[in-house]
A and B are shown apart, each in its own frame.
Chain A
Amino acid sequence: MSFLNLQEISKSFGGFVAVDQFNLEVDKGEFVSLLGPSGCGKTTTLQMIAGFLDPSHGQIMVGGEDLTARPANQRNIGIVFQSYALFPHLTAAQNVAFGLEMRKATQGERQEKIDRALDLVHLSAFRDRYPKQLSGGQQQRVALARAIVIEPTILLLDEPMSNLDAKLREDMQLELRSIQEKLGITTILVTHDQNEAMALSDRIAVMNEGRIVQVGKPHEIYEDPANVFVSSFLGKNNLLAVEVEDISGSKASVRFNGQSLTVPCREGVTNKEAWLSIRPEKVQLTDKGSGLLEGQIKTRVFFGNHWLYQIETASGEFLVYSQNTAVPNTAPRDAVGLNWQADDARLLNMDAS
C-alpha cells in the first residue's frame, strides 16, 4: 500500500477541466515530480493535495487515511512556494517558529527544532535577519526550513527554483535532494523544468492538459517516452517520418529514405506512418555517404562540454550534440553523413497519444 494515494481526482472550474481523473501512488520517502507545461494542471493538483482547493471528484489518501475533506490547516503538509511566501514582518527564526507555535510546542522544544532546521539549511548565522535582508537563495532556505520544521507527512514544492539564477539553482537542487534523503520525507515537486525534474526525482509524472501522460523513473521516461509529447518535452529529439513495414513484439521494421531498419517499438503503434525519434546525443556525424542520412551542416555552436550542430537533411532539420573531445574537423556547409544505432531510436505514433 502506497503512502500517498491520489485516486481519480478531478477538478473543474466552471466548464474548464483543469485536472482530469488523476491517479498517482507515491511511496513513503519517495520524491516525485509533476512535470508539464504551464496550464497542464500540475499546480491545481498540488493545491488539492495541500487542501487549498477541493477536488470535484476523487480521493486523497495519506497513510491509509482519507484527507479529501480535511481542512488545509489540519493536514500537516509542508509547502515551499514559488514566491517563498515568507512572512516579511518576522525574522528568519520567527518564520520557522510559526508552525511550531501553531502546534503549541514548548519554548525549549521550539528553540531546539528551530536551531536544527536552520542548521540543516546552513542559515544559523542569519536567524535574526528579516526576509528583505536575505538573498533569494537564503529566502528559499528559510522557506524550506519553515516547511520541514513541523515534520510534515508530505513536503510540497511549487516551482521552488524558478526565481533563482542558473548556478544557484543547480547547487540548491543538489542540496534539496540531500536534505530530502536525509529526512526521508515524501516529496512532491511541481515544475515545468525537465532538468530539475530529472535531477531531483525518483519518479516523474509527465502531465499534459490535466492528465498524466507517463509515469516512471527519469531515465526510463527519457529513454522510452510514451509519445511525441513526452519525447519533445523531456529534452530535444529529432523526428523522422517513417513507413512501418512490420511489427513483431517490441520490434518494428521501418522504411525511410529507401532503406530498412529494425527499431524498438512501444505497444500501441499501429499506423502505417509513424515518427522515428532519435535523441541528438545519440546521433554521430560520419563521412559523407557512410551514414543512414545525408545532410549539410547549417550551424555549429560551442557549449563548452558539447558542440551543437544543426544539419539540413532531405527529411528536415536534424539536431546533433557531440562531446567536446577535440577540435572537430567539420565546418558549416560541409556535407556529412548522420548515423545512429538502431536500438537508440524509438518508434512513436504520429498523433500525441
Chain B
Amino acid sequence: MNKNGPLALVFHTLFIVFMVAPLAVVVWVAFTPLGYLQVPTTQWSLRWFYAIFENEGFIESFWLSLALGIASASLALACAVPAALALARYSFKARGFLVGLFLSPLVIPSVVLGIAFLRFLTQLNITGTFFGMALCHAVFVMPFVLRLALASITGMDRSAEQAAVSLGATHGTTFRRVTLPMILPGLVGGWVLAFITSFDELTVTIFISSPSTTTLPVRLFNHITQTTTPIVASISAVIIFLSVAAILILDRLYGLDRLLVGSKR
C-alpha cells in the first residue's frame, strides 16, 4: 500500500468529514426531546422514533417506496440482462443508438423527465397508479442496471460457455447454469444501485405521485415545507441504519468491491 502524503491525508480527512458530518448530525438530531430541529446536548429521547409509528402516512409511504424500489429495480434488471447480452456480444447498426437510449435518463434533467412522464401517464390514463410509477422508475434506474450488467458480461470469459456447450449443455442450460451465476455479482450490484436510486428519487416522482401514491421522499419533502418537526430527522436516521445494515449484509455475501466496482473475481 502506498502511503498518503500529508496534504493528501488532510484532503481525504476533510472529504470524509464533509461526507459523514451531515449524516451524523441528522442522526444526532433525531434523539432530541424537543419539538423542533435542535441538536440535543443534555436531554435525549426516542420520542420522534415512536412518532414515526404513530404516523400512518409515513409508514404507508415507506412501504410504497420499498415496493416501488423493488418493482422498478427488478423490472429494469429483467430488461437490462437480455439487452446487455445483445449489446455486449453482437455488433449491429443500432447498437450505439440503443446504448445511448438506455443511458439517456442519466443526462436528461429530472424535471424534464418528470414532466414528460406525467404527460405520458396521463395519455395512457394510468396517472397516480403504482404500475405507472413503477414503469417510470424502471426507465429512470435503467442506466445503473445496464452499466453494471454490460460490464460483467463484457468481462466474462466466454470460453466457459463454450466449455458448457461442449459438455452437452443446451443454450438455455448454459445460460442458467454458467452465464447467470458468473454475471450475478454485477447484476446484484446493479439491482442494489437501482433500488437505492428509486427509493430516494424525488424530482421525477413529485410530478407523477398522487395523494394515494406518495413515496417517502415526496412525503418528507411535503412535510418539511409545512413544519419542521424532528420526525424528518428520525425517519432519516432509520433509513441510514437500514442502508448500513443492507450494505453490511451485501458485503458479507458478495463483497462490495465485486458488486460496485466489478470484474474482481
Is A89 within 8 A of B182, CB to CB?
A: yes
**In the complex, what distance in Å separates the CA atom of A85 from the CA atom of B182?**
12
Tell me, yes or no, whether A244 is within 8 Å of chain B by CB.
no
Complex: how many Å from CA A54 to CA B104?
39
Q: Taking the complex as formed, is A335 at the interface, i.e. its CB lies under 8 A from any CB of chain B?
A: no
A81 touches B159 (CB 8 A): yes
Chain A CB within 8 A of B212 CB = no
A302: interface (CB < 8 Å): no
Question: Using Cβ atoms and an 8 Å threshold, which residues of chain B touch A52?
Answer: 162, 165
Instruction: Provide the B163-174 mask, 1 if CB < 8 A to any CB of A, else 0.
Output: 111111110010
Stretch among A67-75, A254-262, A343-351 lining the B interface:
A67-75
Select which of B157, B160, B170, B184 is within 8 A of A73 by beta carbon: B170
Contact present for A74 and B168 (CB under 8 Å): yes
Q: Are A79 and B162 within 8 A (Cβ)?
A: yes
- What chain B residues lie within 8 Å of A77 (beta carbons)? 166
A103 lies within 8 A of chain B by Cβ: yes
Q: How distant is B9 from chain A, measured CB to nearest CB, in Å?
A: 34
Q: Name the interface residues of B132-191: CB closer than 8 Å to any CB of A.
A: 157, 159-160, 162-170, 173, 177-178, 181-182, 184
Q: Which of A75, A85, A103, A132 contacts B163 (CB 8 A)?
A: A85
* Interface flag for B3 (CB, 8 Å): no
Given A98-B164, A146-B163, CB of A85 within 8 Å of CB of B169:
no
Select the residue from A79, A87, A146 with max chain B CB neighbours within 10 A: A87
A21 to B169 CA separation, bound complex (whole angstroms): 31
In the complex, what's the smallest C-beta–C-beta distance from B156 to chain A, in angstroms? 10
Given the known interface contacts A87-B178, A88-B182, the answer about A102 and B160 at a Cβ–Cβ threshold of 8 Å is: no
With A85-B159, A87-B160 already in contact, the answer to whether A50 and B182 are too (CB < 8 A) is no
Residues B200-242 near A (CB distance < 8 A): none
Nearest-CB residue, chain A, relative to B173: A102
Q: Is A150 an interface residue (CB 8 A)?
A: yes
Known: A88-B182, A88-B265, A89-B181. A103 touches B168 (CB 8 A): yes
CB distance from B185 to the nearest CB of A (A): 10
What is the minimal beta-carbon distance from A87 to any residue of chain B, in angstroms? 6
Contact A73 B163 (CB under 8 A): no
Residue A313, interface by CB 8 Å: no
A73 touches B165 (CB 8 A): yes
Do A85 and B160 form a contact, CB below 8 Å, given A102-B173, A132-B265?
yes
* A78, CB-defined interface residue at 8 Å: yes
Give every chain A residue within 8 A of B177 (Cβ-Cβ): 87, 98
Chain B residue with Cβ nearest A89: B181
B167 touches A150 (CB 8 A): yes
- Digitize A79-118: 1 where CB-to-B-CB distance is under 8 Å, 0 elsewhere: 1011101111100000000110011000000000000000
Residues of chain A lying within 8 A (CB to CB) of residue B167? 73, 78, 98-99, 102, 146, 150
User: For the complex, what is the distance from the CA of A50 to the CA of B162, rounded to whole Å?
Assistant: 9
B101 CB to nearest A CB, Å: 29
Q: Which of B159, B165, B168, B169 sits near A83, CB closer than 8 Å? A: B159
Supposing A86-B160, A87-B178, A88-B265 touch, asked if A50 and B168 sit within 8 A by C-beta, the answer is no
Contacts of A79 in B (CB 8 A): 162-163, 166
CB closest residue in chain B, given A72: B165
A81 near B168 (CB under 8 angstroms)?
no
Residue numbers in A under 8 Å from B163 (CB-CB): 79, 81, 85-87, 143, 146
B166 nearest CB neighbor, chain A only: A79
- Chain A residues 50 to 72 lying within 8 A of chain B, measured CB to CB, are 50-52, 72
- Residues of B contacting A76 in the complex (Cβ-Cβ under 8 angstroms): 168
A96 to chain B: closest residue by CB: B167
Structural contact, A81 and B169, CB atoms closer than 8 A: no
- Say whether A85 contacts B170, CB under 8 Å: no
A117 to chain B, nearest CB (A): 13
Chain B nearest CB, measured from A307 CB (Å) = 42
CA distance A78 to B167 in the complex (A): 7
**Closest partner residue, chain A, to B163 (CB atom):** A85
CB of A216, distance to nearest CB on chain B (Å): 29
A76 vs B165: C-alpha distance when bound (angstroms)? 10
B182 touches A102 (CB 8 A): no
Pairwise interchain contact B166-A78, C-beta atoms closer than 8 A = yes
A78 to B163, CA, bound (A): 8
**Separation of A76 and B261 alpha carbons in the complex (Å):** 38
Please list 6 pairs of residues, one from A and one from B, whose beta carbons are closer than 8 Å in the complex, sorted by A's number: A51-B165, A73-B166, A78-B166, A78-B167, A102-B173, A132-B265
Supplied contacts A83-B159, A147-B166, 20 more A-B pairs, CB within 8 Å:
A52-B162, A73-B169, A75-B166, A77-B166, A78-B167, A79-B166, A81-B162, A81-B163, A83-B157, A85-B160, A86-B160, A87-B164, A87-B177, A87-B182, A88-B160, A99-B167, A102-B168, A103-B168, A132-B265, A146-B163
Closest 3 CB pairs of A and B: A99-B167, A102-B168, A85-B159
